[in-house]
Structure 1
Amino acid sequence: MTSKTVTGLAFEFASQLTPHREHALKRISLALIVAVLRVFSVLPYPFVARLGMVVGTVLYALPSRRKHIVLVNLRLCFPDKTSLEHQKLARTHFRHVVRSYLERGIQWFGSAQSIQNIVQLDSKIDLGDPAAPPTIFMGFHFVGIEVGCMLYSTHLPVASLYTRMSSTGLCDLAKRQRGRFGAEMIERATSAKKIVGLLRSGKPVMIAADMDQGVDNSVFVPFFGVPACTLTAVSRLARLGRARVVPFVTEVLPNYQGYKLTIFEPLAHFPSGNDVVDARRMNAFLEEQIVKFPEQYYWVHRRFKHRPSGMASVY
C-alpha cells in the first residue's frame, strides 16, 4: 500500500511491453493519477476521507501480500491480542492507509489554506524562536505523516529527507508537490555533509528513521520486544550538526475532523554518544505513540525485513 502500489499493476503490465509502449503506458498511468488527485483536491474533505475508508474496506477483503505483511507485524508486536483482534486492527489499518492515499489530492494539489483548515497544530516548542538551536524534526510513519510535514512547510522553512521511489515519474511528482510551499526536498542518499551544513545554517531538517532501510548504518534493537533493524541516522546527524532532536506525530482525528500535528519537547540528553542506546530510545518513544492509535501506524511496511544473524525471515 505504498505509492508504488497505487500504480503497481499498471507498471507490472508495462514491463512486459516493448520499451516504447512501456514508457507510454507509464506516462498514461501517471497522468491518470494526477487527474484523479486533482479531482480529489477540490472535493469536500469529509467525502474523500469517507470514500477512502470504503475503498480500504473493499481492498482488505481481497487476498494480498500487503495484508499478509500487516497481519505478521501485528502478531509479532501484539502477541497478547487474539486472532480476531489482529484481523479487526488490520482491517481498520487498511482503511486508514487507503484513505491517506486518496487524501494525497488535497495534500499535493490543495492550497496552503486548505491544508491548514484540516490540520490542528499543537507545538510544545516555539517554532518561531529566532534563537532556536539547530533542529532535527524526527517523524514517524503514521498514515498522517505526509500532511503533517506539508502543514509545517506552509509556516516555516524546512528541509525534508525522502527515499527515492522505483517509479521515476511518481517520485518526481511527489518531490515537486511536497516541496511546493518551499520545503527543500533532499534524497536520503545525500551526503551527511550537506545535511549537517543545513542544520548549522539554521534550517531545520525533517527525517523519519523508523523503517527498515537495510543493515548499513543500522543496529538491531527491540521494537515491541522484537529485534528491528533501526537506522542510526538521527543520532549521528544530531551529533555532527550539534542539533536538538524534536519528535513529531500526526494523528488522524475521529469523525473526519482532519488531523492533529503534535510537536513534542526536544529529547533530553540526545544523542547520548551511544548509537544503540539512542536507537532503542527512539523505538521506545515510538511505541508509546503507537499504543495511543495503533491502527494508524504504517504496518504495511516490512518492519522486520532484515533479521539478526541466525533468525529466520518472518514474511
Structure 2
Amino acid sequence: MKDAQDEQDEQAARDKRDRAARPGLKRRALEALFRWFGNVSPATRLRAGAALNWLTLRFAKRRQRIVRTNLRLCFPNESEATRERWLQAHFRALSQSLVDRGVLWYGTPAAIEAMVSVSVPPEYQRLVAEGKPMILLAPHFVGLDVAATRLTMITPTGATMYTPQRDPDVDAIVAAGRARFNDVHLVSRHDGVRGLIRHIRAGRPIYYLPDMDFGREGAVFVPFFGVPAATVPATAQLARKWQLPVFPVIEFWDPATGHYHVEMLPALADFPGEDTLEAATARLNRELEGWVMRCPSQYYWVHRRFKTRPLGEKKFY
C-alpha cells in the first residue's frame, strides 16, 4: 500500500510532467540553445565556452568580487597575481561547464562518454550490484553536473538532494536533465535530510553535496582553509546512523582538450568512527582542502561559502 509520502511524490511527478508538456517560449528557446550545444562539435563548444567566459568577465562583476574574497580568505599567503590567475581560470572552467550541460542533457550517450571519462573503485561496483546504500560525497567543483550525469549512466538507481531553481523554466530543464538516465530520484532541499532516508532504506546510493552555506540552523562552524564555515553535519549523521560507506567524488576539466575526468575515491576509512559529528565534519573539510589543492581554480568559488558568520563576526561579502 502506498503511504502518503509516495502519493505526494507521484502527484509532484505528474505536475512536473504536465508543466514539461506545456513549455513556454522562454523554455523552448533555452532548450533549443542547450540542444545546439549538445550536438555541435567539441571545438565549437570550446569556442562557445570561451565566448561566454568573455561575457562573464566583463559583466559578472559581483561574482568576481565573491571569488576574489574567497580566494583571499582561503589563500592569504598566495600572491595577488596567483589568485587573479586562478580567478581567470575559474571563470573559464565555469563558463565551459554551463555550455557542456547541453551534452549532458541533450547529447547522445556516446557524446557524453567521449567528453567524460570515469573511474570507480571495485568496492563501489560490488555494493551497487548488491543493492546496498552508500553516500557519494560530491563537493562543489565546477564539473559537478558532469559527475552526476556520468555516474547515473552506470548506476541503475540513485537519489540526490536538489535545490529547486527560482526560474520555473530553468528548473524544469535542470530537473529533467539530471534525471535523464536510469532511475534517479530528486529530493528537494526543502525536504531536508529526512527526504533521503526513504531512499537509503530502498538501498539506493545517495549523491550528497556537503559544502554549501545554508545558514546557521543545523550547521556547525568548522574550519575550511582556516576560516570557520557553516557546514551541515548530515554526512556524518547519515553515515553513523545507517552505517553507510562514504565515497568521495571529484572531477576536473582539462582546458587543453575539453575533456572531463570523474574520479570516485575509495570509501573514507573509519568514518565517522568515534569522532563527534563536529569533529567528523571538520575532517571532511580537511579532506576537501586536499582535493581542492589538486586544481584550486576549479572549486566552486562563486558560492558565498562564508556567508554565515559566528555570532559577533563581521560579514565578508
- For the Cα contact (< 8 Å) 1:196–1:240, is it kept in 2? no
Shift in Å, 1:212: 0.6
**Aligned with 1:189: secondary structure?**
helix
Deviations along 1:238-280, one digit per CA (max 9) or x if unpaired, are: 2232211111101112422411111111111212351111111
Report what 1:306 is aligned to.
Answer: 308
Which stretch of the first structure deviates more once superposed, 253-262 or 290-299? Answer: 253-262
TM-score, normalised relative to structure 2: 0.86
Unaligned residue ranges in structure 1 (runs of 5+) = 1-25
**3-state DSSP class of the match of 2:246?**
strand
Q: C-alpha separation between the residues in 2 aligned to 1:287 and 1:248?
A: 14
Taking the TM superposition and a 5 Å limit, the aligned residue runs for 1:1-315 are 27-62=24-59, 64-129=61-126, 130-131=129-130, 133-156=132-155, 157-182=157-182, 183-190=184-191, 192-272=193-273, 273-315=275-317
What is the DSSP-based 3-state SS (H/G/I as helix, E as strand, rest coil) of the residue aligned with 2:229? strand
Bigger mean CA deviation after superposition, 135-144 or 251-260: 251-260
8 Å contact kept, 2:225–2:289? yes
Deviations 1:258-304 (A, max 9, x none): 11111111111212351111111111111101111111111011011
- State the Cα deviation string for residues 44-63 of structure 1 (Å, max 9, x = none): 12321232134313421446
Say if 1:221 and 1:280, in contact at 8 Å, map to a contact too.
yes
Q: Cα RMSD between the aligned structures?
A: 1.8
Paired residues of 2:158 and 2:205 also in contact (CA < 8 A): yes
Amino acid at match of 2:278: V
Aligned to 1:19: none
Q: Tell me, in whole angstroms, the C-alpha distance in 1 between the residues paired with 2:64 and 2:310.
A: 24
Question: CA contact under 8 A between 1:57 and 1:91: conserved in structure 2?
Answer: no
Q: Deviations over 1:87-130 (max 9, x none)?
A: 22111111111111111111111122221221111222343313
Amino acid at match of 2:150: L
Name the TM-score, length of structure 1 as normaliser: 0.87
CA contact (8 A) 1:122 1:263 kept: yes
Structure 2: gaps of 5 or more residues: 1-22
| Partners of 1:300 and 1:105 in 2: CA distance | 21
Q: Is the 8 A contact 1:54 1:95 kept in 2?
A: no
CA distance in 1: counterparts of 2:285 and 2:106, whole angstroms = 33
Q: Contact 1:163 / 1:187 at 8 angstroms: preserved in 2?
A: yes
Tell me which moved more, 198-207 or 56-65: 56-65
